[in-house]
Amino acid sequence: MGRFSIPIMGFMLLCCLAALTEAKYLKYKDPKQPLGARIKDLMNKMTLAEKIGQMVQIERSVATPDVMKTYFIGSVLSGGGSVPAPKASAEAWVNMVNELQKGSLSTRLGIPMIYGIDAVHGHNNVYNATIFPHNVGLGVTRDPQLIKRIGDATALEVRATGIPYVFAPCIAVCRDPRWGRCYESYSEDPKIVQQMTEIIPGLQGEIPVKSRKGVPFVAGKQKVAACAKHFVGDGGTTKGIDENNTVIGLNGLLSIHMPAYYNSISMGVATVMISYSSWNGKRMHENRDLVTDFLKNKLKFKGFVISDWQGIDRITSPPHANYSYSVEAGVGAGIDMIMVPYNFTEFIDDLTDQVKRKIIPMSRIDDAVKRILRVKFVMGLFENPVADFSLVNQLGSKEHRELAREAVRKTLVLLKNGKSAYKPLLPLPKKTAKILVAGSHADNLGHQCGGWTITWQGLGGNDLTTGTTILNAVKNTVDPSTQVVYSENPDAEFVKSNKFSFAIVVVGEPSYAEMFGDSNNLTIPEPGPSTISNVCGAVQCVVVVISGRPVIIQPYLAKIDALVAAWLPGTEGQGIADLLFGDYGFTGKLARTWLKTVDQLPMNVGDPHYDPLFPFGFGLTTKSTKN
């Protein structure tokens, strides 16, 4: 050996070690690197298949670790009612999400998937979660800080199940209560809807003052990525027909339906979901002018744009009639993540083919992937991709249920109180001989919660989850000496013969969601009207209406002594008894116009010939009887 052999070998060994160290160091996995550098480094390493995989969101029922790994799937969701098991625990949810995540982390680049779920009034798919009032009630409160606290509680309950992404809030401005999604809207007034976007910093965390407008922000493991939906004009369709056409000029679109998006983007909302509806005949899922030119370029939104469930399929009529066109139009419009949710291989194959044939430019794919990765990096998903059980006690916690009860109290609107101003019926006395509680909704937790609760359409009955019905709330509140008699639909003779001190009648709409709730009559179904007639004709009564919107009540109003709009209050029915019996006073003011007849629709505050039964902003008040 020559005299320089050993030093040369040592030098070579050092070089090999340096190369090995360099190979192990990945810039995109280093949280100390700037966000832009991490995104660029990762994208430079990605193949077309890996990029397209990031753009795909599939339903949990077709997701497996092997599917996640093979197709580089970027996201998974639970559709309405899609759960790991009936009444699954928080731990069971965490285990399911983590199992799928392991598949994603085992890929060549280890890009974590993001799991999304509807959490539109609390963590509504999950058994034992706190179910808050639907948005139609929350708008009544005009209390942005309350809404922010609800966002914070919802984020904790969602993270308790290992999920980091929610399809909420809905910031639609419902202009016609015939729409089956009207209860997902805070108000007919865009200003109130703007105020309620304060739920976003509750869900995601408070965006730092120095953050650039439009850049997504999620503050760590106890917060979730939010989704402003449905962009744009979904609440303005003709006659309130779901997924239909919103006929309005640009000025009207910008002044009524767009303002809440300005707020959402300034708050760092991570994602925006596109609406099924059309604007002046053009489907939003193919509207490049609004999705790319306006939302992304003019408003400078830097998060990712997601389709609705099978949203690109519905670009054509009938849906899926020309799938290649739908892929081209939807992705070309600027949608970054496609909620497939089942036939993902068809979408992947079609998009791949269109990119290779230069129908869809590679720049469009890169824009989508950059946005998706930006959200994943910002929310810390690369550093903390696997959930643990540290937050499981947050699900349905006492603190969150008390918050929901407070929200119920603030959502109720007192529309009538006594047949004359000098003889109010409310607040009711807790101590009396005998009272009647009647009506189809008095002892029905499912109807009380409405749609998007445990299942997509909601469920009647008391077995869907845990909570307090209005009947049980009354029993919890009255004096032990007061006899509470419950009869769902008593006849008049029964009421008269029992000599009740007064009656509480709880009636309303059955549970529904989306197009299944579209209605051209807005009537309370039987036996509701019969119960009102039988009871209120025989004894002093307060009628509590459980509904996702104003309904036709004028024909019964003269018989009713007191009338309360309770909307869809959720699991904490005790909040209703709190007000009926005077522990707290009524403060709620209508955030929707209450119609006389459907012939008046659409009718919104500020319209000419405005002639409501109860106007926007109306609400009687009472004082607490607590000492």
User: What is the per-residue pLDDT across 97-145, written as a single tens digit (0 to 9) for each?
Assistant: 999 999 999 999 999 999 999 999 999 999 999 999 999 999 999 999 9
pLDDT digits (tens, 9 = 90+) for 274-317: 999 999 999 999 999 999 999 999 999 999 999 999 999 999 99
Among candidate residues 150, 125, 126, 127, the one with its CA nearest the CA of residue 137: 150
Q: How far apart are CA 28 and CA 22, in angstroms?
A: 13
Tens-digit pLDDT profile for residues 390-417: 999 999 999 999 999 999 999 999 999 9
**596 to 261, 559, 588, 603: CA distances (angstroms):** 32, 16, 20, 10
pLDDT digits (tens, 9 = 90+) for 353-384: 999 999 999 999 999 999 999 999 999 999 99
pLDDT score at 210: 77
3-class DSSP assignment, residue 376:
helix
Q: Is 166 strand, coil or helix?
A: strand
Average pLDDT, the chain: 95
Kindly indicate the confidence band of residue 542, based on its pLDDT and cuts at 50, 70 and 90: very high
State the pairing for strand pair 413-417/282-283: unpaired
Predicted model pTM? 0.95
pLDDT of residue 213: 82
Task: Quick: pLDDT tens for 39-61.
Answer: 999 999 999 999 999 999 999 99
Point out which residues pair with 545 in neighbouring strands.
507, 565
Whether 401 contacts 130, CB under 8 Å: yes
Match 């009656």 to its residue by tokens: 503
Q: Report cis status (omega within 30 of 0) of the bond before 427.
A: yes
DSSP string, 149-165: HHHHHHHHHHHHTT--E
Of 157, 514, 572, 578, the catalytic one is: 514
- 514 carries an active-site annotation: yes
Instruction: For 150-175, write each residue's pLDDT tens digit.
Output: 999 999 999 999 999 999 999 999 99
421 pLDDT above the threshold of 90:
no
Tell me how far CA of residue 172 lies from CA of 32, 253, 513, in angstroms.
Answer: 39, 12, 15
> Cβ of 598: how many Cβ atoms within 10 Å?
18
Question: Could you give the percent of the chain with pLDDT greater than 90?
Answer: 94
Q: Which of 265-269, 420-424, 578-582 has the lowest mean pLDDT?
A: 420-424
Q: How big, in percent rounded to 5, are the helix, strand and coil portions of the chain?
A: 40, 15, 45
Contact 179, 230 (CB under 8 A): no
With a cut of 50, say whether residue 19 has pLDDT above it: no
The pLDDT of residue 472 is above 50: yes
Please pick, among 152, 308, 328, 561, the residue that the annotation labels catalytic.
308
Q: Alpha helix (H) ranges present in 389-545? A: 398-411, 445-449, 470-477, 492-498, 528-536
Say if residue 615 is preceded by a cis peptide, omega within 30 of 0.
Answer: no
pLDDT band (50, 70, 90) for residue 23: low
Work out the average pLDDT over 471-490.
98
**CA 26 – CA 78 distance, rounded (Å):** 32
Domains of the chain are: 135-204+219-383 (3.20.20.300), 399-600 (3.40.50.1700)
Pair type for strands 271-274 and 282-283:
unpaired
CA dihedral 568, 570, 573, 575 (to 10 degrees): -80
Query: What is the residue-wise DSSP string for 288-352?
Result: HIIIIIIIIIIS---SEEE--TTTTGGGSSSTTTTHHHHHHHHHHHT--BEE--S-HHHHHHHHH
Between β-strands 278-279 and 282-283, what pairing exists: parallel, antiparallel or unpaired? antiparallel
Burial level of 213, CB count in 10 A (0-12/13-18/19+)?
middle
**Which amino acid belongs to residue 381?**
L
DSSP secondary-structure letter at 112?
P
Tokens of 225: 């990525």
Read off the amino acid at residue 158.
Answer: V
What's the start-to-end Cα distance of the chain, in Å?
100
Q: Is the pLDDT of residue 71 over 70?
A: yes
- Average pLDDT over every residue of 597-611: 97
Per-residue confidence (pLDDT) for residue 5, from 0 to 100: 45
Q: If you ran DSSP here, which 8-state letter would residue 198 be given?
A: T
Kindly give the pairing relationship between strand 562-567 and strand 413-417.
antiparallel
Q: Burial code of 424-435, b = ≥16 C-beta within 10 A, e = fewer?
A: bbbbbebeeeeb
